[in-house]
Amino acid sequence: MNKKNISEIKTDFLIIGSGLSGLYSAIYASKFGKVTLITKSSIQESNSYWAQGGIAAAINDDDSIEIHKKDTLSAGCGLNNEEAVNTMVSEGTERVQGLINQGMNFDRAESGFDFGIEGGHSRRRILHALGNETGKAVVDFLCKEVEKNNKITIYENSFVIDLFSDSKSCFGCLVFSDKEKNKISIHSKATIVATGGGCGLYSQSSNPSSTSGDGIALGLNAGAVVKDMEFIQFHPTVFSKEGAQNFLISEAIRGEGGQLVNHSKSRFMENYSKQLELAPRDIVARAIFNEMRTNGEKNVFLSLKHLKPSLIKNRFKNTFELCLREGLDITKDDIPVSPAAHYMIGGIKTNISSQTNIKNLYACGEVACVGAHGANRLASNSLLECLVFAKRAIDSAVKLSKKEMKIPKDLIERAKKCSLISSDKKVESYLNYRILLSQTINNYVGILRNKKDLLLALNEISSIKRTNLDEFDLIDKRLMNLKSLTYLITKSALLREESRGAHIREDFSSESSKWHKHINWKLNNGTLRFSYSKQ
């Protein structure tokens, strides 16, 4: 494909991803220059859109930033970056108040905001909207702001092939536009990766399958450091009925009194935690998994029958309607639930200014790992993290990424070689491998892990031979990225010989002081290499 087939665009800020962090950073960046927003689907479709619980912020009268910080550190099991936690919980109150001032309507009670509570929180501090459709409400609110902003150019259904990077600096990215059926070279002073996580890699997930860690792979291939990939958070309660589609059952339901019961209709959380159903997610997910395995069942149940029907229908309208479609009236019927991969705690390593180790490359939201969550994310801190570190990414870019840099010739030459046309055989092979890899990590790198299973997973992942793949073929490139990501998750889980937070090893059942450290990954001359660090 020759040069005339590559369109060229220049912009001040390139935002990749249209979740909360992407939309928020695009709006804020538009105050300082021209913004180009890239998303592989539509700007409404993202993990943020499906976030049900809400946004945690210490703005209730009986709450404080210090208490919120304490809860976050407790959930993180000693691996939090305390500076990042301080930044998130303190600046988070300002970001949330800013949304409110802009006109974002969170649900209210007679006395003010209707604060919810979720597992791991010691106060009612969860702001929610449209009952349990907070993500949808916030994303819709910001989408309207983005669409009417003439400083923001949106490219929907556009897939980022590569970041333009020489492993020292980032110059923008190469994009395939489905609408134009063409490659686009985007030159940018600052590139912000905000693509979300990769839990859609698992065959059992609360995420759409499109949430496949693309941004983490982009960063890795560009020379960025990736860390904490062993920490995958499994949501305890995903709708689990044979023949039905999985969907998230909000943790806020347990916050309002929902009770977990087994097939004998007996409550069991008292056997696992004094906090019962309000224990942190890792504890609840593990308890449910253990009940299922012990009793040979595919699910447990969440019972709401003792709650007022009006509370269920109003506060959890979306869940009520979704379950009704599956033939369940949750004011009378128990909800079948089981854990599923939900949130990727690890990602592209950044500092508290959202800077990566690559000049002019920033990351924020679930794709990034600033260290605020430690080994286990406190519920409803994810949307807060998006707001805080999206703004910080732009503030940092405004300060440091003022000069336009010319893309090196060798990167342009590589862009010319990229083929957008793959054979039917390659597409079929990719889809088959995608299913294989999804099932592999689901079966062997799930809630409870052990050396034997992890080695089996690594063996299956390594069966995909890199020598058979063409790095300039778009489909092959995506397969190579999937292989790298599943390898990082599995190998990191094998290396960490302890149980901490969201990472549970059956053969190393307790925390170890030796593992009060992080596993970092970097691509060197085509080989993934790991190192350890305190932060």
The residues annotated with a catalytic role in the active site are: 281
- Consecutive H or E run containing 173: strand 170-177
How far apart (Å, rounded) are the C-alpha atoms in residues 389 and 114? 26
Which value, to the nearest 10 degrees, does the dihedral of the CA atoms of residues 50, 56, 57, 62 take? 140
DSSP string of 312-380? HHHHTHHHHHHHHHTT--TTTSPEEEEEEEEEE--EEE--TT-B-SSBTEEE-GGGEE-SSSTTSPPTT
Compute the CA torsion angle 151, 156, 158, 162 (nearest 10 deg). Answer: 40
Q: How far is CA 454 from CA 213, 490, 497, in A?
A: 20, 6, 12
Give the sign of the dihedral formed by CA 384, CA 389, CA 390, CA 391. Answer: positive
**What interhelical angle do 20-29 and 134-147 show, nearest 10?**
30
473 in Cβ contact with 447 (< 8 Å): no
- What DSSP string describes 80-133? --HHHHHHHHHHHHHHHHHHHHHT----EETTEE--B--TT-SS--EE-STTT-
Which residue, 388, 376, 374, is CA-closest to 58?
388
Q: Are 334 and 136 in contact (CB under 8 A)?
A: no
The CA dihedral of 152, 157, 161, 163, to the nearest 10 degrees, is 20
Pairwise CA distance, residues 25 & 262, whole Å: 44
Q: Please, what sign has the CA dihedral across residues 375, 381, 383, 388?
A: negative
| Full strand arrangement of the beta sheet holding 232-239 | 232-239, 335-344, 300-303, 259-261
CA angle 193, 195, 197 (to 5 degrees): 120
Taking the C-alpha atoms of residue 187 and residue 69, their distance in angstroms, rounded to an integer, is 39
CA 519 to CA 183: how far, in whole Å?
35
**Residue 530: strand pairing partners:** 521
Give the Cα-Cα-Cα angle 84, 89, 95 (nearest 5 degrees).
Answer: 110
Please tell me whether residue 50 adopts helix, strand or coil conformation.
helix
Query: Using an 8 Å Cβ cutoff, are 290 and 297 in contact?
Result: no
